[in-house]
C-alpha cells in the first residue's frame, strides 16, 4: 500500500498543543470558527476527527501529498455519516500555517459547560506497513484520475470509543486542488 500508515495511542498525559492527534479537541488559532452543517435551516457542529502536524508527518511523506509545514484539520458529519458527499457542509479540511505557540485548545461543550469531545489519541506515523489489525488510518495513497486520497480512516475500537463505518468501509477524504475542494467517500 502507498501512503503513510497511522496508528492511534491513548496517552495518559495531555498532548502538547499542535501535536498530531485523533479525536479530542483541536488546537486552533484566533479567529477560528468551528465548521458546522446546515440543513433545513438548522445548524450543528461537525465532528473533529483529527489534526495532522505536517512537520511531524514530513519525514514519512515520500509522495509529497501533505504541505511541509502547518497543521491539517479534518472535520466530518459523524451524525449522518454520509457514504459519499461533496457537500462542503458535511466535510471540511482546514490548513493552518502559523506558529504552534499561537494555538489554543478549543473545547466543545454542551449547554452546561461539560466537555463533549472524545478522549484524544496521539497519532504515530509509520514508514513501513503495520499489521492490518493495528492500522487505524492512512495519509495519502494511490492517485486515481484526478482524485488524490488525503486521509483514510478505518473503523477501530477502544474501551472508550468505537468508530465503525457501514459495511466495513473506510472513510476517505479526497482533495481536488486545494483544501477548499474536499469530498468524502466510504470505500
Check residue 134 and give its pLDDT. 84
Note the pTM of the prediction, 2 decimals: 0.91
Band of pLDDT at residue 93, cut at 50, 70 and 90: very high
Check residue 43 and give its pLDDT. 86
Domain residues for 177? 4-186
Please state, for a pLDDT cut of 90, what percent of the chain lies above it: 44
Minimal CA–CA distance to 20: which of 58, 77, 76, 62? 58
Band of pLDDT at residue 145, cut at 50, 70 and 90: low
Task: Over range 56-70, report the average pLDDT.
Answer: 91
Task: Over range 62-76, report the average pLDDT.
Answer: 91
Q: The domain that contains 143 carries what CATH number? A: 2.30.320.10
Q: How many domains does the chain have?
A: 1
Task: Over range 61-75, report the average pLDDT.
Answer: 91
Q: At residue 39, does pLDDT exceed 70?
A: yes
Task: Classify the phi-psi angles of 79: left when phi > 0, otherwise alpha if psi is within -120 to 50, otherwise beta.
Answer: alpha
Residue pLDDT, tens place only, 104-139: 999 888 888 888 788 899 999 998 888 888 888 999
Check residue 57 and give its pLDDT. 96
Residue pLDDT, tens place only, 1-28: 578 999 999 888 999 999 999 999 999 9
Check residue 71 and give its pLDDT. 97
CB-based burial label for 77 (10 Å; 0-12, 13-18, 19+): buried
E strand spans, 30-141: 36-39, 42-45, 47-53, 71-76, 84-85, 91-96, 104-105, 121-126, 137-139
Q: At residue 41, does pLDDT exceed 80?
A: yes
Q: At residue 160, does pLDDT exceed 90?
A: no
Amino acid at each position: 500500500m502507498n501512503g503513510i500508515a497511522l496508528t492511534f495511542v491513548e496517552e495518559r498525559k495531555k498532548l502538547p498543543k499542535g501535536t498530531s492527534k485523533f479525536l479530542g479537541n483541536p488546537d486552533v488559532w484566533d479567529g477560528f470558527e468551528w465548521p458546522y452543517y446546515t440543513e433545513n435551516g438548522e445548524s450543528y457542529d461537525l465532528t473533529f476527527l483529527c489534526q495532522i502536524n505536517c512537520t511531524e508527518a514530513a519525514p514519512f511523506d515520500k509522495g509529497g501529498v501533505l504541505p511541509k509545514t502547518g497543521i491539517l484539520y479534518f472535520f466530518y458529519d459523524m451524525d449522518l455519516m454520509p457514504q459519499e458527499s461533496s457537500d462542503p457542509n458535511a466535510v471540511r479540511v482546514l490548513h493552518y500555517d502559523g506558529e504552534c505557540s499561537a494555538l489554543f485548545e478549543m473545547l466543545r461543550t454542551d449547554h452546561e459547560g461539560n466537555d463533549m469531545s472524545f478522549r484524544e489519541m496521539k497519532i504515530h506515523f509509520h514508514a513501513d506497513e503495520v499489521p492490518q489489525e493495528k492500522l487505524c488510518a492512512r495519509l495519502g495513497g494511490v492517485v486515481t484520475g484526478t482524485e488524490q486520497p488525503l486521509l483514510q480512516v478505518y473503523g477501530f475500537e477502544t474501551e472508550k470509543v468505537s468508530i465503525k463505518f457501514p459495511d466495513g468501509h473506510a472513510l476517505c477524504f479526497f482533495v481536488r486542488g486545494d483544501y477548499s475542494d474536499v469530498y468524502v467517500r466510504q470505500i
